[in-house]
Amino acid sequence: MLEIVYQDDHLIAINKPHGLLVHRSSIASDAKEFALQMLRDQVGRFVSPVHRLDRKTGGLLLFAFDKEVEIAMHKQFQEGGVVKKYLAILRGYAPDQMDIDYPLVKENGMVQEAFTSFVTLKRAELPVPFGQHETSRYSLVEAAPTTGRMHQLRKHFAHIFYPIIGDRKHGCNKQNRFFKEQWDMTTMLLHASELRFLHPVTGEQIALKAEPQEEFKKVMRLMGF
């Protein structure tokens, strides 16, 4: 059963587990379960996602029950009317705060502006040797992207050399292997923690929060966060 964080007559939000696809995709033919179909079966109603999360990203995922609301929420996301916040665990001691203004290139070659702000919440130094270092350093950050490009946070943190732990495509392969061997952890440590938006029907300000999934919490406990 999916964890339902919010539900009314028009919208429903879940706390998506890491590793679960939003919907069926030809690039992930191995997947047998999809959040879209699971939620439809669980609530017994048609639902449609109004935004996307990567398969490996956990956290808040919002769906609409009807087409008009779906279109209105798509527009709100596209026009920057939705405040999004994420938690991520990064390699190294990240700066206290930083704005990343770094354009990203789509697969078709189109360049899109992309902007992310983040603050570092906590840092940890573990007495576990890594490479030539006697200890291992990590940061827990809260990121707020104001644009919604594909893999934006993953690419932005890799760009400033503080990659997200568990990100196989854009992260540090040595760290990912280290986490698998040391703690049997393969989850990408990126969690969609908050969404704030205007309800498209009532006009009410909606503020949603979702707790990290257990895999994320396990690493937080390990690091004393």
Active site residues: 54
- Cβ distance 82 to 196 under 8 Å? yes
Residue 39: C-alpha distances to residues 7, 42, 65, 72, 74 (Å):
12, 5, 11, 21, 19
Instruction: Tell me the torsion sign for CA atoms 56, 88, 155, 131.
Output: negative
CA distance 73 to 186: 33
Instruction: Name the helix (H) or strand (E) containing 153.
Output: helix 152-159
**Where do the DSSP E strands lie in 82-173?**
83-91, 97-101, 104-105, 111-112, 115-126, 136-145
- How far apart are the two ends of the chain, measured CA to CA in Å? 28
